[in-house]
A and B are shown apart, each in its own frame.
Chain A
Amino acid sequence: MPHHNFADKQLLVSVRSKSFPKWVRYAMCYAVLIPLLLLVHLPLLWMIVTAFKVPGYGTKLQFIPKAGEHMYTLENFRQVFFDKDFPFYRFAWNSFVVSTGCALVTVAICTLAGYAFAKKRFPGRELLFAALITIMLVPGIIFMVPQYRLVLKFGWINTYTAMILPHTANIFGLFLLRQHIRGLPDSLLEAARVDGASEIGTFLRIVVPLSVPVMITLFLLTFVGQWSNFLWQLIVNTPDSPYLTLPVGLSLFQGQWQTEWEKMMAGACFSILPIAVLFTVSQRFFIQGLTAGSVKE
């Protein structure tokens, strides 16, 4: 993203004034932004602190142990990770498999189709693409009943297939890849063809290598989206399924142990912290992908 920072002089509405030196203006901004940032991250901070507390302390608004008091521990993490009835290591693994599987399939089929919609001429192309884009306006929840029926019919209840496959036709992802591949010069594809490359060779050696950043973006967006998919994983798994994901596992855990906040927050950490780390190391791709869909040319 290019940053023209004209805004410094134009958009800081009321704070901007010639009578304030720069550092006063900055201090005023921080005075608003820092408390707001703390509020935004209060759930994260509260979760982490509570997860480390000795059972019983999670319900107290006390953070600094008195002399000789044993207040913080790693025990909660150990217990929920290997819990007999709610094994969070299992939930985390399932979440990982489902998110990765869904992201891989999504990227593969969206790149293939994105290439065709961008560079191939075939009858019905525009109509088909317009029809797919229209589906993006449909609230996703209306697919719940018919998709459930299909999964039931195929006998996929309590399987990874049911958890992964129905969400891989990602129209936003198709749009993202198509926009990107449209921008690749035709001359490159022509050159490959002249050199005798096959259709698949052209795709694999020209299109894919040049689309890697967008593919990574789509992979990450899908991964994070599926990591947070609750409703679908709730309905295609029975409570005794071995394939429960983190949010579904946590919801069952909540039903059983409503008052054990320390353990619940430790369980929540398994969902939140990996995503926080993933985002921190790859934020460039996230932001690029999320803005690509909404910027009007």
Chain B
Amino acid sequence: MAKDVGRVRLGLRKPLWQYYDALWGYLFIIPFLLVAGVFLLFPIAYSFYLSFRETWLYSNWFDQFADMRFVGFRNYVDLLHNPTFWYSLVATFIYALLLIPTQIAAALALALFLNTKLPGYRTLRSAFFLPHVFDVFVVGIIWLLLYNPQIGPFAEFFKWLGITWFKKHGFVDNPYTILPSIAFAMVLKGMGFGMILFLTALNNIPESIFEAAEIDGANARQKLVYVTLPLLRPMILFMSVTGLVGVLNAFSEFYAMTKATGGTAFQFFGTTVQAARVSGFYLYQLFYDAFYGHAAAMSFILLAIALGITWINFRVLGKES
């Protein structure tokens, strides 16, 4: 056959059409790969390179990036010696602890409530999901109004309960309640999304498992604890991991609800820090102040933390039982 003759003459091991197929495969991925290569793959390498360099006093400020000096590990060392950096990690950790378990618990509770033929359940599901698609920054601005100590409804509500503390100190205007207040707003915004994920997972549990448990005499609560929750473990793992990456990325809600400042200042091991300067905000601040090398180093520390915690999560929650 003509096709085979060509193959033999060219010394190829596969039929020609397979090379043709592969060629078209490459052609089809080129546009995606081009964008991904320039804006995702290259930046990771470039960022690593930048993390060993820094702008300096006599930098050419019209071309800062090209005029950065090699500084070795100094960016990393600087960060690790800086209490502001450590506070950003502490604040992120506190925020994650406040947000992620609450988010998951609230989403699960909602899913259990709405995994029924309750009249209007479809509408309720959509209604709970809706805030998830709203702009985080704009929602943050609205919460700023809701949390306003003078004119907002929440301070008024607590005053009505007899607690006047918030009237005086506000919710996001003091270092003590700022992180829980932001977490509360974000739980309300995101719980509907988690609910949808849990509903999907619940639908994938075969009914026979529940029947078996019923035959064994399990009551509703036992079925929840011993059957449903263990089967939802992969979903809980997924939500913790994505929630964690989300917290490391969190910026807009903090920018909005602290009016771009990062929150009220207070003393942390003898250094003044802003109460809500979580890692994402701190990274933005380094970038804003043109410490590009430090910002790149910070990026890699965050990446290491994200991968580390993802790994731990897989080890702890991902174990087959």
Contact status of A43 and B252, CB under 8 A, knowing A138-B44, A141-B299: no
Partner of B138, one of A7, A40, A271: A271
A241 CB–B CB distance under 8 Å: no
The residues of B that contact A29 with a CB separation of less than 8 Å are: 113, 116, 118
Q: What is the bound-complex CA distance between A165 and B32, given in angstroms?
A: 11
What is the total of A-B residue contacts with beta carbons within 8 Å? 302
Please tell me if the beta carbons of B145 and A171 are within 8 angstroms of each other in the complex. no
A215 CB–B CB distance under 8 Å: no
Q: What is the bound-complex CA distance between A265 and B203, given in angstroms?
A: 39
Please tell me if the beta carbons of B142 and A268 are within 8 angstroms of each other in the complex. yes
Contact status of A166 and B39, CB under 8 A, knowing A46-B146, A47-B142, A271-B138: yes
Please tell me if the beta carbons of B191 and A138 are within 8 angstroms of each other in the complex. no
Please tell me if the beta carbons of B249 and A140 are within 8 angstroms of each other in the complex. yes
Interface flags, A39-72, vs B, CB<8A=1, else 0? 1111110110010000000111100000000000
Please tell me if the beta carbons of A268 and B224 are within 8 angstroms of each other in the complex. no
Residues of B in contact (CB 8 Å), total 106
Please tell me if the beta carbons of B283 and A272 are within 8 angstroms of each other in the complex. no
Please tell me if the beta carbons of B65 and A149 are within 8 angstroms of each other in the complex. yes
Complex: chain B residue closest to A231, CB-CB: B251
Q: Which of B83-91, B96-104, B150-158 contacts A (4 or more CB under 8 A)?
A: B150-158
Partner of B47, one of A121, A145, A165, A283: A145
- Nearest Cβ in chain A — how far from B130, in angstroms? 6
Partner of B29, one of A13, A37, A116, A141: A116
Please tell me if the beta carbons of A139 and B200 are within 8 angstroms of each other in the complex. no
- Nearest Cβ in chain A — how far from B206, in angstroms? 9
The residues of A that contact B284 with a CB separation of less than 8 Å are: 141, 144, 231
Partner of A13, one of B142, B221, B259: B221
- Nearest Cβ in chain A — how far from B77, in angstroms? 19
Please tell me if the beta carbons of B50 and A145 are within 8 angstroms of each other in the complex. yes
Please tell me if the beta carbons of A8 and B29 are within 8 angstroms of each other in the complex. no
Interface flags, B1-39, vs A, CB<8A=1, else 0? 000000000000000001001111111110111011011
A152 CB–B CB distance under 8 Å: yes
Partner of B115, one of A7, A26, A37, A46: A7
Interface positions, chain B 21-74, Cβ under 8 Å from A, are 21-29, 31-33, 35-36, 38-44, 46-47, 50, 65
Q: What is the bound-complex CA distance between A86 and B224, given in angstroms?
A: 53
Please tell me if the beta carbons of B39 and A150 are within 8 angstroms of each other in the complex. yes
Contact status of A294 and B197, CB under 8 A, knowing A10-B220, A121-B22: yes
Please tell me if the beta carbons of A142 and B300 are within 8 angstroms of each other in the complex. yes
Q: What is the bound-complex CA distance between A165 and B118, given in angstroms?
A: 45
- Nearest Cβ in chain A — how far from B121, in angstroms? 9
Residues of A in contact (CB 8 Å), total 106
Complex: chain A residue closest to B221, CB-CB: A13
- Nearest Cβ in chain A — how far from B298, in angstroms? 8
Please tell me if the beta carbons of A251 and B260 are within 8 angstroms of each other in the complex. yes
Complex: chain B residue closest to A8, CB-CB: B116
Give the dominant DSSP class at B's interface: helix
The residues of B that contact A211 with a CB separation of less than 8 Å are: none
- Nearest Cβ in chain A — how far from B189, in angstroms? 8
A219 CB–B CB distance under 8 Å: no
Complex: chain A residue closest to B208, CB-CB: A6
Interface flags, A180-212, vs B, CB<8A=1, else 0? 000000000000000000010001000000000
28 A-B residue pairings within 8 Å (CB atoms): A4-B207, A6-B207, A10-B214, A12-B112, A29-B118, A33-B113, A37-B124, A40-B192, A50-B145, A59-B151, A109-B32, A110-B32, A115-B28, A120-B21, A137-B307, A139-B248, A139-B249, A146-B42, A146-B44, A147-B39, A165-B35, A169-B35, A231-B251, A250-B137, A251-B256, A254-B259, A265-B145, A275-B134
Closest 6 CB pairs of A and B: A120-B25, A146-B43, A142-B299, A113-B32, A116-B28, A122-B22
15 new A-B pairs (CB below 8 Å) besides A41-B127, A275-B133? A2-B203, A6-B210, A7-B112, A33-B113, A42-B153, A112-B31, A113-B32, A115-B28, A135-B41, A143-B44, A145-B292, A272-B134, A280-B130, A294-B235, A295-B200
Q: Which residue numbers of A lie inside 8 Å of B, CB to CB?
A: 1-8, 10-14, 16, 26, 29-30, 32-33, 36-37, 39-44, 46-47, 50, 58-61, 108-110, 112-113, 115-117, 120-123, 125, 128, 132, 135, 137-150, 152-153, 165-169, 171, 174, 199, 203, 224, 227-228, 230-231, 235, 246-247, 250-251, 254-255, 258, 261, 264-265, 268, 271-272, 275-276, 279-280, 283, 286-287, 290-291, 294-296
